[in-house]
Chains A and B, each alone.
Chain A
């Protein structure tokens, strides 16, 4: 199968547009028109590799479009800020995945997540103001990308005191992650100390612990200097106390229950961190690890991942998403992906119809697809909450 330069150029610009939201930012109006022009102006040279052709094409494209001036003009555009944030987050995720786990993450972040490499909104604003206010000259998106990569490497991982200060200042961004960290630990303590198991049974203990720890840190009741280990130690102490009460009230307390230390010991660490018990199979919070795939503050990311789950039948969450709607999803795919009209779908699935009957059936299929969209998206939202 031979190459089609028009299609290749269209793919290049479509991807650039998806990644940097250029149409939305106003760099151009139509990807198709721009791609057609690009293909005619910059066909591959004799013996030129795909990589070289792509580099040359995009370099010329952005030069002609005046990308550098465009960036300067958009420095105060929230859409441009959002694009910059999403590029930074992407590089931070890569940094996180290729780095050793920091002490702070070990004690404060859920297993697959990070606080050290997370882009907290205020931190981003600081970085953006400092580095983008006098917009550096970016000839094309690749240069913007490199700049963001350097920015990520130079400013992360975030120092522990900064994260602790954020927690003292009651920043939800940090606390939400820490609460998720506490959930499997709560499960482990409950399971081993008071015999409680299951998400529902431990929920109250978990939420009480979250509130206690939050108050202690925000109201500065922990002994200074506070570090991540002090926060997790206090949390473990609260958990132990709560479980002690439960064990006593059940009159099944082991004789040595009073000997339990109100501090995180080395034994605790072995026992409760990175232990299989901290991740029981029926414990859903970490099952899907959606937080490592989805940027919950970015609508495009949330919607994109929804499409991936819906389209990819091999995805572990696909069955849960479409369960009970399989036939309807099939008809929706025929409409949106195969481009079949409602009449064609009716003819394919419900036989030949005419006149009013056909009109009625088409209206029903249209309504069905519309309702299905809402139902699937509602289900997806619940799944996000469950697997976050």
Chain B
């Protein structure tokens, strides 16, 4: 085998898809070619990184972590989460209705104040302002 192993053949070697003769030819090349060996090793490392660690670490995990990862724990967490969301939503809705009520009261007060203000500007006030600013007062209004 001259040059380097093409990536397709190297992939087939990695996937155990070569015949034993082809496999031996690849191994013979690998024994003298550090570059191809490095590429093959890269695929193996990637596989260990992607799948190996996860499986072995899962096996080694202490009981506490297994409890944390168990279905019951997840179910309990889901129930707590749903309750939390429920309480939060209820509070928010209640607060929101309070806010709406308060807003309505405030609006009513504003209107009331407005009405009150108009009502309070009576004839006596007109006379007072007329005296103070003269007839121009009537025009400025």
A residues neighboring B (CB under 8 Å): 1-4, 7-8, 11-12, 14-15, 18-19, 50-51, 54, 86, 90, 94, 142, 145, 293, 301, 303-308, 310-312, 314-315, 332-333, 335-337, 339, 373, 377
- The answer to whether the Cβ of B17 comes within 8 Å of any Cβ in the partner chain is yes
Contacting A at CB under 8 A, from B21-55, are: 23-24, 27-28, 30-34, 37, 42-51
Interface size class of B (residues with CB under 8 A): 20 to 34
A50–B28 contact, CB under 8 A? Answer: yes
Q: Which of B14, B15, B37, B48 is within 8 Å of A336, CB to CB?
A: B48
B15–A304 contact, CB under 8 A? Answer: yes
**Once the chains are docked, how many angstroms separate the CA of A11 from the CA of B45?**
14
B31–A50 contact, CB under 8 A? Answer: yes
- Cross-chain pair count, CB within 8 angstroms: 83
**Once the chains are docked, how many angstroms separate the CA of A54 from the CA of B31?**
12
**Chain B CB within 10 Å, residue with most, of A51, A86, A311, A333:** A311
B31–A8 contact, CB under 8 A? Answer: yes
* Shortest Cβ-Cβ A-B pairs, 7 listed: A336-B49, A50-B28, A308-B11, A337-B42, A8-B31, A307-B47, A19-B16
* Nearest CB of chain B from residue A23's CB, rounded to whole Å: 12
* Nearest CB of chain B from residue A8's CB, rounded to whole Å: 5
A311–B43 contact, CB under 8 A? Answer: yes
B20–A145 contact, CB under 8 A? Answer: yes
- Name the residue of chain A whose CB is nearest to the CB of B47: A307
- The answer to whether the Cβ of B7 comes within 8 Å of any Cβ in the partner chain is yes
- Name the residue of chain A whose CB is nearest to the CB of B40: A11
**Once the chains are docked, how many angstroms separate the CA of A2 from the CA of B33?**
9
B30–A305 contact, CB under 8 A? Answer: no
* Nearest CB of chain B from residue A336's CB, rounded to whole Å: 3
A306–B30 contact, CB under 8 A? Answer: no
B51–A303 contact, CB under 8 A? Answer: yes
- The answer to whether the Cβ of B123 comes within 8 Å of any Cβ in the partner chain is no
Known: A11-B30, A15-B27, A336-B48. A304 touches B14 (CB 8 A): yes
B49–A7 contact, CB under 8 A? Answer: no
Known: A94-B19, A308-B11. A8 touches B50 (CB 8 A): no
**Once the chains are docked, how many angstroms separate the CA of A78 from the CA of B16?**
20
A306–B27 contact, CB under 8 A? Answer: no
B24–A51 contact, CB under 8 A? Answer: yes
Query: Given contacts A54-B24, A304-B16, A305-B15, could you give 15 more A-B pairs where the C-beta distance is less than 8 Å?
Result: A1-B32, A3-B32, A8-B31, A15-B16, A18-B16, A50-B28, A51-B24, A142-B20, A301-B15, A304-B47, A306-B50, A307-B14, A307-B43, A307-B50, A373-B50
* Chain B residues positioned under 8 Å from A8 (CB to CB): 27, 31
* Nearest CB of chain A from residue B47's CB, rounded to whole Å: 5
* Chain B residues positioned under 8 Å from A51 (CB to CB): 24, 28
B48–A308 contact, CB under 8 A? Answer: no
* Chain B residues positioned under 8 Å from A11 (CB to CB): 27, 30-31, 37
* Chain B residues positioned under 8 Å from A336 (CB to CB): 45-46, 48-50
A54–B42 contact, CB under 8 A? Answer: no
Q: List 13 A-B contacts (CB under 8 A).
A: A7-B31, A51-B28, A301-B15, A304-B16, A307-B50, A308-B15, A310-B50, A314-B7, A315-B11, A332-B49, A335-B49, A336-B46, A337-B45
* Nearest CB of chain A from residue B104's CB, rounded to whole Å: 47
Known: A145-B20, A308-B15. A333 touches B27 (CB 8 A): no
B27–A12 contact, CB under 8 A? Answer: yes
A54–B27 contact, CB under 8 A? Answer: yes
Known: A51-B24, A90-B16, A312-B7. A307 touches B46 (CB 8 A): yes
Q: Which of B14, B33, B34 is within 8 Å of A308, CB to CB?
A: B14
- Name the residue of chain B whose CB is nearest to the CB of A333: B46
Q: Which of A293, A303, A312 is within 8 Å of B47, CB to CB?
A: A303
**Once the chains are docked, how many angstroms separate the CA of A373 from the CA of B46?**
11
**Once the chains are docked, how many angstroms separate the CA of A312 from the CA of B32?**
22
Known: A3-B32, A8-B31, A15-B23. A337 touches B17 (CB 8 A): no
Q: Which of A18, A50, A307 is within 8 Å of B27, CB to CB?
A: A50
Q: Which of B7, B14, B24, B33 is within 8 Å of A50, CB to CB?
A: B24
* Chain A residues positioned under 8 Å from B17 (CB to CB): 90, 293
